[in-house]
A and B are shown apart, each in its own frame.
With several copies, the nearest count.
Chain A
Amino acid sequence: MLKDFSLSINDGEMVTLLGPSGSGKSTVLKLIAGIEQLDNGDIRFDGESILQTEPNKRGAVLMFQKSYLFPFLNVEENIGFGLKMQGVAPSVIQGEVKRMLSLIGLPGIEKRKVGQLSGGEGQRVALARALVTQPKLLMLDEPLSSLDTSVRMNLQAAIRDIQRELGITTIFVTHDLSEAMAMSDRMAILLDGEVTAYDKPETLFHRPPCVRSAKFVGVDLFLEGEASGGWLDAADVGRVRLNDESKVGRSVFAIRPEHIRIQKEETENSLAGVVQSCLFRGEALEVQVRLGELTTRVRLPMPAPMFAHGENVFVQLPAEYLFEVAA
């Protein structure tokens, strides 16, 4: 499943693995947790391989989309489970559980039954249960995917805060770009078992290094052609001015949909196109425009005029927003 996977994470850092379903994100976590076995390769904590360490001694805890709280234990017993298994004294456990419950913002629910918790509360308790054992590594496998939007957004902020406060090294797995950007110090894009990009969210969002990564962060328009003297000869659509005058040779340039403009008249770097569809998206208007052989999405900030299907327009690509990507 995983092909060419290599990732190093700094101490106390929060890293997101972002990828579509089936890209192998969860497999990475299961390999680290020891639930699945590595065929070849190595996993190291602080430079030392953990492959020979028994899974329950690795100090890497896992949290899933479902909370997997033990249904026959109450909240306190669930959170204290890890400590109890390690033989910690009940009085110490009690104190730790109390501390954890106030950390996750749910003080006083020690005796609550697991079935009485809402989805969001369940995930908070599961987080407390994971953190109470003071693991070296926290791994979160789409922990918010089954929650409603508002609960989800609150928990995103809460998890980020707790992670920063405890300074715990964390791997967060998600398929949601917005969630990944909000949750990470660094973000790795995982496509077909391969890390195609690994950098700060801001960098990956605005300057993805390759076409595949760019597509995944929402870039839609790629111009391929011969560059020379500050111009790109894109076979499909025509000549486009570039900011970088030194660039020479075959290359691919891209632009984010929210940096593209639509206008009625031809100007520099404007390409003739036909509107395919025009969808209202609240904060933005999303217009599909066909440019010769290509089709691109354009996001116009609201307020913006609606465009009719089949309308002839010019699509303007500001030179300062065009960036190069590896093919």
Chain B
Amino acid sequence: MKYVIRALLYLVLVAPLALFIVYSFTEGWFFPAPFPSEWTTTTFQRAMDDPRTLGGMWQGFVIAVIVSLLSLILAFPAARALGLRQFRGRQIAWLVLFLPTVVPPLAIGMGLNILFLRVGLAGTIMGVSLAHLISTLPYTVFTLSSAFARYDENYEHQALALGASPAQIFFNITLRMMTPSLVVATLFAFLVSWSQYLLTLLIGGGKIITLPVLLFTAASGGNPSTIAIKSLLFILPPALVIAFTARELNRHGNDIREQY
């Protein structure tokens, strides 16, 4: 029974990828035909020759890295306060943090766009990155703060009593204890930023083109092979990142399990 479930899960994960691959390297596979009639790399070639494809991947990657870094730097102290301390206004802080996931990004994006146009951030990589923070921060803060809620400050108190300075404690104890959650939080931030479509479009104003933007344009066009190739390029990096961190996630399985 367990194996059946496991097999089903892998099928769900792998099947779309396989389908995308097939569509990417074939032409003219239409509905009633059981197999594609022709295999070809021309569509793939064409997509890769289009400078917007690689450019979009590169810009998306740069933005995702900036966003991940900023998310961690901002989320860490906030998550520590939310996870460890009891203070008045804590619930309001949570509410504000979760508003972006609940209030439509569309409304936020339009407001931000007006603001960013004024300060010259609209259409820049920095502007788009800052906008992405709105979607990534809830995830990173949530992940880290649920780890902090289970974090026992007495480890730090021990180190303090043993003569460690605050900086020594931060690097030798706090960061070491939080490593698994930091990995998960970074993963979340990277992937959410990588997949952002709406905010990129609104703030980027046509100047910042990432893969999701290209994919949406292609989706309107309608050539299944083009869509499949861009989807493949789009899904591969997240899949690789997940695979890469899966070992880490598994190794710290217990920590992660406790976290949720």
Direct interface between A and B, CB < 8 A: yes
Q: Which residues of A contact B (CB under 8 A)?
A: 30, 33-35, 55-57, 60-62, 64, 66, 68, 70-72, 81-82, 85-86, 129-130, 133, 135
Question: Is A60's CB under 8 angstroms from B163's CB?
Answer: no
CB pair A62–B155 under 8 Å, yes or no, is no
**Complex contact A56–B158 (CB within 8 A):** no
Asked whether A70 lies within 8 Å of B163 as measured between CB atoms, the reply is no
Specify which chain A residues have a CB less than 8 angstroms from the CB of B157 in the assembled complex: 30, 33, 35, 62
A64 x B154 contact (CB < 8 A):
yes
Q: Specify which chain B residues have a CB less than 8 angstroms from the CB of A71 in the assembled complex.
A: 177
Q: Once the chains bind, are B154 and A85 in contact (CB under 8 Å)?
A: no
* Contact indicator A72/B160 (Cβ below 8 Å): no
Q: Is B91 an interface residue (CB 8 A)?
A: no
Check if B161 sits within 8 Å of A61, measured CB to CB: yes
CB of A55 within 8 A of CB of B154, answer no
Residue of B nearest to A62 (CB): B161
Q: Are A57 and B163 interface neighbours, CB within 8 A?
A: yes
Against A, the Cβ 8 Å flags (1 = close, 0 = not) of B142-170 are 00000000001011011111111110100
On chain A, the residues within 8 Å of B154 by CB distance are: 64, 66, 68
Q: Give every chain A residue within 8 A of B207 (Cβ-Cβ).
A: none
Query: What 9 new A-B contacts, CB under 8 Å, besides A81-B159, A81-B164?
Result: A56-B162, A57-B163, A61-B161, A61-B162, A72-B176, A72-B177, A85-B159, A85-B172, A133-B162
* 5 A-B pairs with least C-beta separation: A82-B162, A85-B164, A62-B161, A61-B161, A68-B158
Q: How far, in whole Å, are A57 and B154 apart by their CA atoms in the complex?
A: 17
Contact A85 B162 (CB under 8 A): yes
Name the distance in Å between A73's Cβ and chain B's nearest Cβ: 9
Decide: A62 and B164 in contact? CB cutoff 8 A.
Answer: no
B21 at the interface (CB under 8 A from A): no
If over half of B's interface residues share one DSSP class (helix, strand or loop), that class is named, otherwise mixed; here it is helix
How many Å lie between the Cα of A62 and that of B154 in the bound state? 10
Chain A CB within 10 A, most for which of B155, B157, B158, B159: B158
Once the chains are docked, how many angstroms separate the CA of A71 from the CA of B254? 13
Contacts of A57 on B, CB cut-off 8 Å?
A: 163
**B contacts with A, residue count (CB < 8 A):** 18
Taking CB atoms, residues of chain A closer than 8 Å to B177 are 71-72
Q: Is B173 an interface residue (CB 8 A)?
A: yes
A-B contact pairs, 14 of them (CB 8 A): A35-B157, A55-B161, A56-B160, A56-B163, A61-B162, A62-B157, A66-B152, A70-B176, A71-B177, A81-B164, A82-B162, A85-B172, A86-B163, A133-B163
User: Contacts of B162 on A, CB cut-off 8 Å?
Assistant: 56, 61, 81-82, 85, 129-130, 133
- B: residues with CB less than 8 A from A are 152, 154-155, 157-166, 168, 172-173, 176-177
Contact B176 A33 (CB under 8 A): no
B-chain residues with CB within 8 Å of residue A56 when the two chains form the complex? 160-166
Question: Which residues of the partner chain A approach B155 to less than 8 Å between Cβ atoms?
Answer: 68, 70
Residues of B within 8 A of A130 (CB): 161-162
**Residues of the A chain whose Cβ atoms lie less than 8 Å from the Cβ of B158:** 62, 64, 68, 70
Q: Is the CB of A82 within 8 A of B163?
A: yes
Q: Within the assembled complex, what's the spacing in Å between the Cα atoms of A64 and B160?
A: 14
Q: What is the bound-complex CA distance between A85 and B176, given in angstroms? A: 15
Chain B residue, CB-CB nearest to A35: B157
In the complex the two chains form, what is the Cα distance from A61 to B164 in whole Å?
11
Shortest distance in angstroms between B245's beta carbon and chain A's nearest beta carbon? 19
Cβ of B112 to closest chain A Cβ, rounded Å: 41
For the complex, give the distance between the alpha carbons of A135 and B155 in Å. 18
On whether the beta carbons of B173 and A85 are closer than 8 Å, the reply is: no
Report if A85-B165 is in contact (Cβ < 8 Å); known contacts: A35-B160, A68-B158.
Answer: yes
Cα distance A100–B133 in the bound complex, in angstroms: 50
Let me know if A33 and B168 touch, CB within 8 A: no
Chain B residues within an 8 Å CB radius of A61: 161-162
In whole angstroms, what is the CA distance A57 to B160 when docked?
A: 9
The CA of A13 and the CA of B168, in the complex, are separated in Å by: 32
| Partner among B152, B166, B168, B176 whose Cβ is within 8 Å of the Cβ of A68 | B152
Q: Are A85 and B163 in contact (CB under 8 A)?
A: yes
When distances are taken between beta carbons in the complex, the residues of chain B under 8 Å from A86 are: 163
Chain B residue nearest to A34 in the complex (CB): B160
Q: How distant is the Cα of A29 from the Cα of B102 in the complex, in angstroms?
A: 45
